[in-house]
Chains A and B, each alone.
Chain A
């Protein structure tokens, strides 16, 4: 499964004929225009706000547990296992008497943290490789792109399994594991973009007044691939949450007793007969979060890269 830069969804569109330039409206910066377009997309904005709220809850987790749920995420209470949702446990308790809502809030910290870190790592590495490959071309390009081919051809799930067994992941190493595949798509995307930007006159102009490679890449190429990166990042978050949740569920990601949305479902089968909410709540949380990320990602894509806009 691909992760970043070539996320499935509507991103892979049929080729669409485009008209470059030639707008009759007054000149406005690209960023202003994109921002305007994004703001007009109400559903997209709502999804973005939801993500921000979830992130805020995750950051402020200790406050929530202190004032709302009154439990610690790993506090066992064997006299209160499998409590039904209600009072005093708003969303019930699990097989060790741990408060589900508290664990969901702390799980969000881990899950969202891993997702954002993974995106950041993938983008950094992928952009660097893509810029270098696209800018220098020749054998450097060949070698780097063959490496990307290899990375994108490894059945990712096997790689994740092997690396998880090897590294016994904590949130940071888990992000590195997922990013070790995720950067490939970004690199390919950035390289493609660089190849087209490189042809433009302003690059030659900049070079002819004596700008060095590094300056060209950082000051002139990077800003031009930024839109693609923003789109890839916002479309990638949801996919990464899904991958992370699946790994946690399989027992290969975040290890108990640390809560994550995925590993709260690891023992789900044993709850089927009496405590259905333990299966429902973490799953719904993942679903809603990924849904919001995808909707927001699509809105960002439509706003920043209108060429790709879905019909």
Chain B
């Protein structure tokens, strides 16, 4: 049953990936039709040179042909070459990937580690001042623009702190350009972007943990456990929390694709050399082979994240049936 369900989900995922890449390409095709990157910067080029350049990049072929070739190559692990600098797209992605994973991975980890305890506290002390304070923080987390929160942090912890001679945090990049790169330097750079990113996750998941916990604690089996005289601690953590966290896993799984694309705005604000920033810059330069590669990659993650969330959920909660 599970196997059949998985096969069906897998096939549906392939359709999704094909759809997404096709849509991306149709969009890019509209821009590439007339454009070779950088061509307007060079007045010495004759029309026949431009035609030759376009042919070299495969721009003279109809887009479905380009798409099929691209798809065929990608299936063989060849993401093509960047239209800007001619280097392989895959190496661009792999260059930036560790930085992005470092940032978003830290943010998601922080989010999970902090939000679950906060959610549990909120549920156990429902209606208390602590609970209200946590609610306010999480409501604020949903409403604050990430890029603006980032700007404020830079303003306070980089600019103002430096002006007042306090120890300040670097505002940009993943390492210091000179003499950087050791673990402490990386952490210093990571603090602010990871904080901004995890603040959102924190708001989302702590609310969810809270309501899920409240829901579980009102179940009959919790009452039974209490009636048996089980210690409250055991009731809450063994029976309550374990069941309350199951739906959270799906939610975290759904954020996994955010590992690549979710941090784009934060990466741009903090000059973090990750995949999001790469995609942003390259899209502005019409480097569509690079953008296609990144979108394909990110979509794979979305699909994989959804699939993983479903599977984990099914494994962890045997009540789930696959219809």
Contacts and interface: CB of A to CB of B under 8 A. Distances in A.
Q: Do A and B belong to a common assembly? A: yes
Contacts of B12: 146, 149
Interface string B145-167: 11110011011000100000000
Interface string A98-115: 000000000000000000
Interface residues of A, number: 49
5 contacts: A8-B204, A12-B251, A158-B24, A165-B286, A246-B147
A187 to B, nearest CB: 15
A53 interface: no
B265 to A, nearest CB: 5
A158 B207 contact: no
Interface stretch (A24-32, A81-89, A226-234, A279-287): A279-287
A283 B264 contact: no
B173 interface: no
A207 to B, nearest CB: 26
A237 B85 CA distance: 41
A165 B16 CA distance: 24
Given A15-B247, A286-B148, 15 more contacts: A16-B215, A154-B23, A154-B299, A155-B257, A155-B298, A156-B261, A158-B279, A158-B294, A158-B298, A161-B280, A166-B30, A282-B148, A283-B151, A295-B139, A311-B211
Contact of B15 (A15, A149, A162, A273): A149
Interface string A263-283: 001001100110010010011
Interface string A138-162: 0000000011011001111111011
Contact of A150 (B20, B123, B139, B306): B20
A310 interface: yes
Contacts, number: 161
B302 interface: yes
A287 B148 contact: yes
Given A250-B265, A279-B155, A150 B19 contact: yes
A269 B151 CA distance: 7
B235 to A, nearest CB: 18
Contacts of A156: 261
A154 B248 CA distance: 23
A133 interface: no
Interface in A226-255: 238, 242, 245-246, 249-250
A10 B247 contact: no
B10 to A, nearest CB: 13
Given A14-B212, A161-B279, A162-B28, A155 B295 contact: yes
A155 B19 contact: no
B137 interface: no
Interface in B1-35: 12, 15-17, 19-20, 23-24, 27-28, 30-31
